[in-house]
Amino acid sequence: MFGRKGNRAASETVKDRQMELKQLSSRDVGSRSEAAAYLAEALQGLYSGDPTPAPHPGGRQAGLTRLRVFNVGAYQARRNDVGPTAGASVLSPYLRHGCITLPEARRDAVEKIGSDRAYKFIQELAWRQFWQLQRERIGDRALNQDLETPKVPLGDGAVPDEVEAGETGLNCMDTSVRSLKENGYLFNHARMWMAAYLVHHRKVSWQAGAQFFYRYLLDGDPASNSLSWQWVASTFSHKPYFFNRENVEKYSRDPATGETYCTHCNAAKNHTCPFDASYATLGKRLFGPSYDNDNGYQRTGGDSKSGGSRGVAPRGSSQRR
Ligand SMILES: Cc1cc2nc3c(=O)[nH]c(=O)nc-3n(C[C@H](O)[C@H](O)[C@H](O)COP(=O)(O)OP(=O)(O)OC[C@H]3O[C@@H](n4cnc5c(N)ncnc54)[C@H](O)[C@@H]3O)c2cc1C
């Protein structure tokens, strides 16, 4: 019910609270705000800041309602949009917490439009399952250690304060941070952008980035989150994921007004947008002159990197999404 801001308290306190929560589940707690007040009291000491009800109502009924209204027919064309035309289901908090299951979501989609047309949606559901299976297979290493040698130099920095405060001056990043904090949710594309910005532009460690997301996401899931960060970083994929301004403009466009995230962006206005370049140029800027966007990082001995960067393996191939 609450945003993910809790600290971990002593185990006895946790047990006491779990008992109270069990009792809560067998009581009639009345309205959502009454339940929120009760939970704020029962969970005292386990969260910081002001307790506020989560933006999405929890529970199975809310999950089923979300599933019912989801327009799976528009998913394939609009799943990457982050503006008013966004077509993602926003089912992740319900799937993550077991309010609805992956087979239920797949069945609902197939009943609505048939398996051929629902293919893309089913494929994304499968990604969730894939990450869970990988985590099961690999163990906790998947959550905190590089699974492969990075294909580009990576840094080991912390999330910069101005990023966490949503004050980078980059509208595409600051809007995402606001959504993360206020809604506990980000569209997949926005997650990819933010992860790429932090890991490749700001040289933040993917582990620090994953913790930052995990603190706020209502769907925060150790496997999906950490393995996705590893995928962006290139420690669990053949090459790093990064993006350019054209990509942000394309997927954040409001067809009614023509405006995009860049329309109101100070960095775009001042011509200081770090994403405003071709992929070839950005690749070299981020990873050194011998980085080849088609073939990955070619170690020729000529690449100089900033301090704190980790090693690279020379290889590369096409990206997944
Ligand atoms: C850096 C990063 C961090 C992420 N962290 C999380 C996380 O903590 N928890 C989480 O559930 N997902 C995570 N994802 C995956 C994905 O972004 C979310 O599942 C998706 O955005 C949830 O929104 P939705 O339900 O509207 O998605 P939809 O596009 O409507 O997809 C439907 C469902 O399919 C699954 N799904 C979709 N895309 C992915 C994907 N790329 N990987 C795994 N499952 C997917 C989710 O269960 C999702 O609810 C992360 C992705 C990135 C790039």
Does the residue 195 lie in any domain? yes
Centre of ligand 1 to C-alpha 228, Å, is 9
Task: For residue 64, give its domain range.
Answer: 60-138
Do 175 and 276 sit in the same domain of this protein? yes
For a pocket test of ligand 1, which of 217, 219, 230, 242 has the largest count of ligand atoms closer than 8 A to its C-beta? 219
Please determine, for residue 273, whether its predicted confidence score (pLDDT) is greater than 80.
yes
Does the residue 117 lie in any domain? yes
Q: How many domains does the chain have?
A: 3
For the chain, what is the mean pLDDT? 88
Element at 296 (helix H, strand E) = strand 296-297
Please determine, for residue 11, whether its predicted confidence score (pLDDT) is greater than 80.
no
Average pLDDT estimate for 256-272: 97
Determine if ligand 1 sits within 6 Å of the CB of residue 66: no
Please determine, for residue 83, whether its predicted confidence score (pLDDT) is greater than 80.
yes
Measured from the Cβ of residue 314, the count of other Cβ atoms closer than 10 Å reads 13
pLDDT value of position 24: 57
Name, of 6-15, 45-54, 68-77, the range with top average pLDDT. Answer: 68-77
pLDDT value of position 119: 98
DSSP state for residue 74 in the 8-state scheme: G
Please determine, for residue 58, whether its predicted confidence score (pLDDT) is greater than 70.
yes
Do 270 and 167 sit in the same domain of this protein? yes
Do 14 and 90 sit in the same domain of this protein? no
Asked if 77 and 250 touch (Cβ cutoff 8 Å), the reply is no
**Which residue's entry shows tokens 């690749």?**
283
pLDDT value of position 12: 60
pLDDT value of position 314: 38
Please determine, for residue 109, whether its predicted confidence score (pLDDT) is greater than 50.
yes
pLDDT band for position 8 (cuts 50, 70, 90): very low
pLDDT value of position 285: 97
Do 279 and 197 sit in the same domain of this protein? yes
Q: Which atom of ligand 1 is nearest to the CA of 70?
A: 30
pLDDT value of position 28: 58
Please determine, for residue 49, whether its predicted confidence score (pLDDT) is greater than 90.
no
Does the residue 108 lie in any domain? yes
Please determine, for residue 104, whether its predicted confidence score (pLDDT) is greater than 70.
yes
Among protein residues, the one with the nearest Cα to ligand 1's atom 5 is: 225
CA distance 178 to 194: 12
Do 236 and 122 sit in the same domain of this protein? no
pLDDT value of position 143: 97
Do 102 and 208 sit in the same domain of this protein? no
Q: For the segment 119-152, what is each residue's pLDDT rounded down to a tens digit? A: 999 999 999 999 999 999 999 999 999 999 999 9
Sequence-ordered list of residues with C-beta below 8 angstroms from that of 53, at least 6 positions apart, any chain: 1, 2, 32, 33, 36
Asked if 36 and 53 touch (Cβ cutoff 8 Å), the reply is yes
Please determine, for residue 68, whether its predicted confidence score (pLDDT) is greater than 50.
yes
Q: For the segment 184-237, what is each residue's pLDDT rounded down to a tens digit? A: 999 999 999 999 999 999 999 999 999 999 999 999 999 999 999 999 999 999
Please determine, for residue 26, whether its predicted confidence score (pLDDT) is greater than 80.
no
Do 128 and 174 sit in the same domain of this protein? no
pLDDT band for position 35 (cuts 50, 70, 90): confident
Determine if ligand 1 sits within 6 Å of the CB of residue 180: no
Asked if 157 and 208 touch (Cβ cutoff 8 Å), the reply is yes
Q: Which atom of ligand 1 is nearest to the CA of 214?
A: 8
pLDDT value of position 54: 78
Do 169 and 134 sit in the same domain of this protein? no
Q: Can you give the CATH number for the domain in which 113 is found?
A: 1.25.40.80
Q: For the segment 169-182, what is each residue's pLDDT rounded down to a tens digit? A: 999 999 999 999 99
- Write the single-letter amino acid at 13: T
Does the residue 149 lie in any domain? no
How large a percentage of the chain has pLDDT more than 70? 83
pLDDT band for position 304 (cuts 50, 70, 90): very low
DSSP state for residue 235 in the 8-state scheme: S
Among protein residues, the one with the nearest Cα to ligand 1's atom 44 is: 128
Please determine, for residue 312, whether its predicted confidence score (pLDDT) is greater than 90.
no
Determine if ligand 1 sits within 6 Å of the CB of residue 78: no
Q: What is the pTM of this model?
A: 0.87
What are the backbone dihedrals phi and psi of residue 282, each rounded to the nearest 5 degrees, phi first? Answer: -60, -45
pLDDT value of position 274: 98
Please determine, for residue 294, whether its predicted confidence score (pLDDT) is greater than 90.
no
Centre of ligand 1 to C-alpha 92, Å, is 6
What are the backbone dihedrals phi and psi of residue 312, each rounded to the nearest 5 degrees, phi first? Answer: -130, 150
Does the residue 320 lie in any domain? no
